[in-house]
Amino acid sequence: MASTTPASSSSMSVPPIPNVSTLPSLSAAKKPITIITIGMAGAGKSTFVQRINSHLHSKDSPPYILNLDPAVAFMPFEANIDIRDTVNYKEVMKQYNLGPNGGILTALNLFTTKFDQVLELVEKRSDSVELGLLVFGRTYVILDTPGQIEIFTWSASGAIITDAIASSFPSVVAYVIDTPRCSAPATFMSNMLYACSILYKTKLPFILVFNKTDVQPHEFALEWMHDFEAFQEALATHEGNRDADGEPTYMNSLMHSMSLVLDEFYKHLKTVGVSSVTGDGIKEFFEAVDASREEYETQYLPDIERARAVREKTLEDAKADSMTRMMKDLEVDRENFPEAAERDRWAEEDGDDEDEDDGDGDEETNIIDRTEDGWPGEYIDVTRAQRHGDEGIRWPRPG
Ligand SMILES: Nc1nc2c(ncn2[C@@H]2O[C@H](COP(=O)(O)OP(=O)(O)OP(=O)(O)O)[C@@H](O)[C@H]2O)c(=O)[nH]1
């Protein structure tokens, strides 16, 4: 199949929101739960995904895995859908003149334009098949994501992906933390603030996964989270917290105030300690996931549905409004230029151009399920989306 451009220039600024309402829907009981793995670079996300993958295989319940990291060189598991089959990240960097971070973000934005296809595939492959007394189907869908977690705090694609997934399936965020690297109170707090902003953006059930407990047990973190005084004590003994006169520094007071804010945030979280290397804590992780499914259905789903209804209504209103304005413009045009209007009629011989390429070449890129379809996939062609007159390079930007 021919390769294609990412999108027309006008549609490249913000990836379109997949229309999940048109997808075939599974009955609630059959729906798999989606685990969205997010965490800083090197926290151990991929190793963790492989660990839960092998745990699920050992339970005869293989998950459906999506790799959303376009720049990953090695993955310890085989993904069913891999962004690298659709977007050539190095080519994106080259064509749009971007560094590694911008390249990852743009690659994800491009991939998001195809996310309705991804959802369709997940729906299709995760549907249960009943054979006699046995039920075959995927109970878990797992997303591995890039370490650039700003994708989930400010980029359009992060929000579109999590919204689209969460509107279609029960979903939970597994925020993976490098426990040994959090043993300093300031680092711990900054990681928690990241987690807090991701919770705020995704508005989904949230599990803090303290990883690498084989190197450093996570009990200190639990104590800091549940005992405010203990964290204050750790802060007080931390270097740089007093000035030359022995008074608390600005940083110390700031951290004190922030820890008050975080105290509220901790109340809404589940925490587990795991070692992705030894497999310790994986059972507890799945208990937390199962509890999150219930939480999703009772507490989160009503809000998600409300937000989706508002979004759809806004979209409908915007469409209706622009249609009315276009019709008015046409009317004025026809009155002012009757001859042009006469010439501008649709002729039989023009044929139906529904299947024709509209020039942006976006229609033919298909997302593939690597484990079932032929590989490699088909790259979105980014070579034509280059310069536009004086406006410079246009590339998909977060909204
Ligand atoms: N000791 C120990 N090492 C771990 C554990 N989990 C991951 N690691 C190591 O941590 C390093 C980073 O792991 P990855 O799984 O690549 O981390 P990631 O978060 O996917 O990294 P990015 O792809 O850069 O975002 C690797 O060297 C892993 O072997 C763990 O539970 N214990």
pLDDT at 23: 44
Structure tokens, 303: 């809000």
Ligand 1 mean position to 237 CA, how many Å? 30
pLDDT at 131: 43
Which residue would you say has higher pLDDT here, 96 or 35? 35
Mean pLDDT of the 276-297 span: 93
Rg (the chain; Cα; Å): 25
Which residue would you say has higher pLDDT here, 52 or 131? 52
Mean pLDDT of the 35-63 span: 94
pTM above 0.90, yes or no: no
**Among the listed ranges 1-10, 100-109, 331-340, 347-356, which one has the minimum average pLDDT value?**
1-10
| Ligand 1 pocket test target in 47, 54, 74 with most atoms within 8 Å of CB | 47
Q: Is 259 in the pocket of ligand 1 (CB under 6 A)?
A: no
Contacts of residue 139, defined as CB under 8 A and 6 or more positions apart, other chains included, come to 32, 33, 56, 61, 63
Say what the ipTM of the complex is: 0.98
CA trace torsion 56, 59, 62, 65 (10° rounding): -10
**Among the listed ranges 128-142, 163-177, 251-265, 361-375, which one has the minimum average pLDDT value?**
128-142
At 244, is the pLDDT very low, low, confident or very high (cuts 50, 70, 90)? low
B/e letters for 30-44, b = 16+ CB within 10 Å, e = fewer, are ebbbbbbbbbbeebb
For atom 30 of ligand 1, the residue with the nearest CA is: 212
pLDDT at 47: 96
C-alpha distances in Å from residue 18, one per residue of 54, 84, 308, 384: 31, 20, 12, 24
Strand, helix or coil for residue 99: coil
Return phi, psi of residue 23, to 5°: -75, 150
Pairing mode of beta strands 81-82, 129-131: unpaired
pLDDT at 18: 52
C-alpha distances in Å from residue 370, one per residue of 25, 127, 234: 23, 18, 48
175-209 pLDDT per residue, tens: 999 999 999 888 898 899 999 999 988 889 999 99
CB-CB contact of 146 with 68 (8 Å): yes
Ligand 1 mean position to 45 CA, how many Å? 6
pLDDT at 322: 77
- Ligand 1 atom closest to the Cα of residue 43 is 19
